[in-house]
Amino acid sequence: MILHLINKSPAKSSALEDCIAVLQAKKSTSAMMLIEDAVYLTVSQAGNEALHEKIRTLALPCYILKEDLTIRGLSLDLADCFSLVDYAGFVQLSLDYDKVQNWS
Amino acid sequence: MQSFTLVIYGSPESQSSSTALNYARALLKSGHEIYRLFFYQDGVLNACSFNTPTQDEENLPVIWQTLIQEHRIDAVVCVASALERGIIDAAEAERYELPASNLREGFEISGLGQLVDGLINSDRLINFLP
Amino acid sequence: MNPKNILIIIRQAPYSSTLPAAALDILLTAAAFEQNITLLFMGDGVLHLLSEQNATSSGMRNISKALPSLELYEVKKIFLEESALHKRKIENEELVMPLATLSLPEIAEVTEKADQVFNF
């Protein structure tokens, strides 16, 4: 049970895709937590929607840090594959999972 | 109550430093404790006392220092990263005969062993990468 | 106290960042504390393993030079991602030393078993 912490936009880094590739390779009860520029994944655009579909197929939780959407002026009305959390929720998730693994 | 070691890799100008700061505040507010803050790589720049940002910008080193002093947090700056980037305490300034020291009060220079100690002795180690 | 299982993953290419060298420093320190360490090269991280590198003009440290000596520190579990060489058309003979490979399901398993992961 790992909380995968991703902080880069999918346009700039392979972090998100590499993480998804490992999650696809073996069934688990892990989750993803997107912060900083990784929250740009929530924007509905062609490249992102293909990744949304992959996340739906994984059927694992994908949490988005609310503050990082707000400071960027991005919509809080998210696709069904995402859930919003605040910093308190982020801290709680780091304890709910066995460990936190970064992807940068 | 759980104990955390946070490793900060980003400079005060990177978002990762303020992410770590917000995370630290949230965990303290939730009743958990910080075993250690470890400033590594460009993260050591958060311990500089010479920063003078423009008025409309936050001075992250000051905000870190306030948090550290208010909660009496063990805040360690990696010695190798610090010397490479010119973050110098009084002892190092004397040893290398440098014209000044600039380590902010509240921070302490030590080795990577403190990171590994944090990993061994706290419940969670969280990395904040730039 | 039992040693922790620490997994260190290097995914970033050499020379553009100091993080891979930072990973090596964490590895050596954790080894000095007698922790149980696994090192894994994934994606562009395998580029650290090319033998024909000339780091002297970059001013940066080269991880490939340190690899053969890691056994002295009891670091024996060093792997690379199976598909990463193939994708980059790199042959085994081009590497500084032969390494065992891990498939993505095996990487997922190693990751789950670790107490702590550093992924740079």
Q: What is the mean pLDDT of residues C35-39?
A: 96
Do B127 and A100 count as a contact with CB atoms less than 8 A apart?
Answer: yes
Q: Which domains does chain B have, with CATH numbers?
A: 3-128 (3.40.1260.10)
Best mutation site among B27, B32, B122, B125 for testing chain A: the one with the most A CBs within 10 Å?
B27
CA pair distance B116, B67, nearest whole angstrom? 23
Contacts of B84 (CB under 8 A, 6+ apart): none
Q: What is the mean pLDDT of residues A22-38?
A: 97
Indicate the angle between helix axes B113-121 and C19-32, nearest 10 degrees: 70
- Which run of H or of E encompasses B108? strand B107-110
CATH number at A57 reads 3.40.1260.10
What are the structure tokens assigned to A80, written together?
Answer: 């069904």
Higher pLDDT: A40 or C74? It is A40
pLDDT > 80? residue A35: yes
Q: What is the mean pLDDT of residues C10-16?
A: 91
Per-residue pLDDT reduced to its tens digit, C104-120: 999 999 999 999 999 99
User: How many structural domains compose chain C?
Assistant: 1
Strand partners, C8: C39, C118
CA pair distance B35, B6, nearest whole angstrom? 8
Per-residue pLDDT reduced to its tens digit, C43-58: 999 999 998 888 777 7
pLDDT > 90? residue A95: yes
pLDDT > 90? residue A66: yes
CA pair distance B48, B59, nearest whole angstrom? 11
Range of the domain at A48: 2-103
Q: How confident is the model at residue B57 (pLDDT cuts 50, 70, 90)?
A: confident
Mean pLDDT for chain C overall: 91
Residue carrying the six token digits 């982020």: A90
CATH number at C35 reads 3.40.1260.10
Dihedral over alpha carbons B79, B80, B81, B87 (to 10 degrees) = 50
A91 CA: distance to closest CA in chain B (Å): 6
pLDDT > 90? residue A62: yes
Which residue of A21, A26, A103 is in closest CB contact with C109? A26
pLDDT value of residue C71: 82
Q: What is the mean pLDDT of residues A85-104?
A: 98
Q: How confident is the model at residue A47 (pLDDT cuts 50, 70, 90)?
A: confident
Contacts of C29 in chain B (CB under 8 A): 111-113, 115-116
User: How many structural domains compose chain A?
Assistant: 1
CA pair distance A81, A56, nearest whole angstrom? 6
- Which run of H or of E encompasses B83? helix B79-85
Best mutation site among A5, A6, A101 for testing chain C: the one with the most C CBs within 10 Å?
A101
What distance, in Å, lies between the first and last C-alpha atoms of chain C?
A: 27
Q: What is the mean pLDDT of residues B22-39?
A: 98
Whether B63 contacts chain C with CB within 8 A: no
Whether C119 contacts chain A with CB within 8 A: yes
Contacts of C102 (CB under 8 A, 6+ apart): C40, C79, C80, C81, C82, C110
pLDDT value of residue A7: 98
pLDDT value of residue B61: 97
Q: How far is CA B50 from CA B17, B61, B69, in A?
A: 17, 9, 18
Range of the domain at C9: 5-119
> Which C residues, 24 through 43, put their C-beta within 8 Å of a C-beta on chain A?
42-43
Contact B68, B75 (CB under 8 A): yes
pLDDT value of residue C72: 83
| Residues of B acting as catalytic residues | 78
pLDDT > 90? residue B105: yes
Mean pLDDT for chain B overall: 97
Which residue of A14, A22, A104 is in closest CB contact with C108? A22
Contacts of C112 in chain A (CB under 8 A): 1-2, 28
Whether C114 contacts chain A with CB within 8 A: yes
Q: How confident is the model at residue C60 (pLDDT cuts 50, 70, 90)?
A: confident
Contact A104, A8 (CB under 8 A): yes
> Taking the mean position of all CA atoms in its chain, how far away is CA C3?
20
Contacts of C76 (CB under 8 A, 6+ apart): C70
Best mutation site among C41, C112, C115 for testing chain A: the one with the most A CBs within 10 Å?
C112
